[in-house]
Amino acid sequence: MTTRVRTAVLISGRGSNMSALIESARREDFPAEIALVLSDRARAAGIKSAQAAGVAAFALDYRTFSARTEFETTVTVALVAAGVELICLAGFMRILSPGFVERWRGRILNIHPSLLPDLRGLHTHERALAERRAEHGCTVHFVTAELDAGPIVAQARVPILPGDDAGLLAARVLVEEHRIYPQALDAVARAVSAARL
User: From edge to edge, which strands make up the β-sheet containing 86-89?
Assistant: 57-59, 32-39, 5-11, 86-89, 108-112, 135-142, 152-159
Contact residue for ligand GRF among 31, 113, 150, 182 (CB under 6 A): 113
Burial-class residue 95 by CB neighbours within 10 Å (0-12, 13-18, 19+).
Answer: exposed
Q: For residues 126 and 166, is the Cβ–Cβ distance under 8 A?
A: yes
Q: Pick the closer one to ligand GRF by CB: 16 or 73.
A: 16
Asked about 141 being catalytic, the answer comes back as no
**Of these, 15, 31, 150, 182, which contacts ligand GRF (CB under 6 A)?**
15
Footprint (CB under 6 A) of ligand GRF, residues 23-82: none
State the binding string over 124-143 for ligand GRF (x if CB under 6 A, else -): --------------x-----
The site map against ligand GRF for 91-110 (x = CB under 6 A) is x-------------------
Q: By CB under 6 A, tell whether 150 contacts ligand GRF.
A: no
Helix 16-24 / helix 45-52 crossing angle, nearest 10 deg: 20
Contact 117, 138 (CB under 8 A): no
Cα 21 vs. chain centroid, distance in angstroms? 9
Catalytic sites, residue numbers: 112
Chain residues binding ligand GRF by CB under 6 A are 11, 13-18, 90-91, 111-113, 138, 174, 177
